[in-house]
Amino acid sequence: MEQIKKKLNSKNGEAYIYLCVIVVFICLLTSVVILYMGLTAQVRMQKKDVQAKLDSFLAGYAAESYDALKQGSEKEDYLAWSELEAGAYAALGFPEQSDTVYAYPNGSRMTRPTVTTLKGDGFGVTVEYTASFPIQWNGVAYSELEIPVTVTSYYKMK
């Protein structure tokens, strides 16, 4: 430590080299932190988007179910689990069986999810998918970060 202090206080000009190395290291570290923060923000935004789509779909499905119940239908007769699953796929942007990837405008992608219907004292869905985010630095794409994501939306009967 004492040796580094002597070199940084040197009047021969070699202190500039060490100072430049420290500045470059701090800039690279700051760049990586900003890249990480941007990726985590994109992950949260995509997860919120999927949650909002599922919540919106289930609210509409719940309204239809409630209207049918008011008309005298049995809950078990009206709730079609295959329609609930198909509606969740359509709400997430996968209306056709052949659709395998949903691309967002920011370059991230969502693979075709696995939808599981939830039963009990209500109804809902659990969606599992893989989100892919391009890792870009200085305008160049280096790799893709793939993150498994699970989102659950559930409507509880009261």
pLDDT confidence band for 8 (50 / 70 / 90):
low
pLDDT confidence band for 151 (50 / 70 / 90):
very high
Look at residue 77 and tell me whether its pLDDT is greater than 70: no
pLDDT tens-digit series, residues 50-72: 999 999 988 888 887 777 666 66
Look at residue 43 and tell me whether its pLDDT is greater than 60: yes
pLDDT confidence band for 36 (50 / 70 / 90):
confident
Distance CA 46, CA 133 (A): 10
pLDDT tens-digit series, residues 93-132: 888 877 788 888 878 888 889 888 888 777 888 999 999 9
Look at residue 5 and tell me whether its pLDDT is greater than 80: no
Contact 102, 12 (CB under 8 A): no
Distance CA 68, CA 47 (A): 31
Mean pLDDT is lowest, of 6-15, 69-78, 92-101, for: 69-78
pLDDT confidence band for 79 (50 / 70 / 90):
low
**Pairing of β 101-103 and β 109-111:** antiparallel
Number of Cβ within 10 Å of residue 26's Cβ equals 10
**pLDDT at position 30, please?**
94
Between CA 60 and CA 53, with CA 106 as vertex, the angle to 5 degrees is 10
